[in-house]
């Protein structure tokens, strides 16, 4: 559970909701083909459970008292401008998080783990 306190009270949001929200936002961005697994543990669990492509794969959230860090691992389309894609993703994710939850992410990292051709 993510929790932030301010002068008006406290806001609590589940991590699952936040991850799904961010994953849906990223996969709808131009140039993004899909999400990439964060680590070997995710790849192994996908193999065992037989899960298909999920939007929350590739999203990692770290939070503490009044801070929020987001790491995204994505696969992009070959030939697109990587700087434009990463800037667009950071801006859209920041806007969606602030608009939907009231949280303000301190840091958003976007990692390009692969490219896919047409």
Query: pLDDT tens digits for 15-39?
Result: 899 999 999 999 999 999 989 886 5
Q: Are 97 and 59 in contact (CB under 8 A)?
A: no
Structure confidence at residue 75 (pLDDT): 93
CATH number of 2-116: 3.30.70.1350
Cβ distance 101 to 107 under 8 Å?
A: no
* Verdict on whether the full-model pTM lies above 0.85: no
Contact between 84 and 46 under an 8 Å Cβ cutoff? The reply is: no
Domains of the chain, by residue range, sit at: 2-116
At 11 the pLDDT is 78
Q: Which tokens hold the place of 89?
A: 């993703």
Q: Model confidence over 57-101: pLDDT tens digits?
A: 899 999 877 788 999 999 999 999 999 999 999 999 999 999 988
């Amino acid at each position: 559970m993510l929790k932030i306190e301010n002068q008006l009270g406290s806001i609590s949001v589940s991590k699952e909701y936040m991850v799904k929200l961010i994953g849906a936002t990223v996969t709808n961005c131009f140039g993004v083909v899909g999400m990439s697994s964060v680590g070997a543990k995710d790849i192994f669990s996908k193999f065992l459970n037989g899960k298909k492509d999920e939007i929350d794969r590739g999203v990692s959230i770290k939070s503490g008292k009044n801070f929020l860090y987001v790491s995204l691992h994505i696969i992009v389309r070959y030939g697109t401008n990587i700087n434009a894609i990463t800037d667009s993703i950071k801006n859209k994710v920041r806007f969606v998080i602030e608009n939907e939850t009231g949280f303000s992410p301190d840091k958003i990292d976007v990692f390009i783990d692969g490219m896919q051709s047409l």
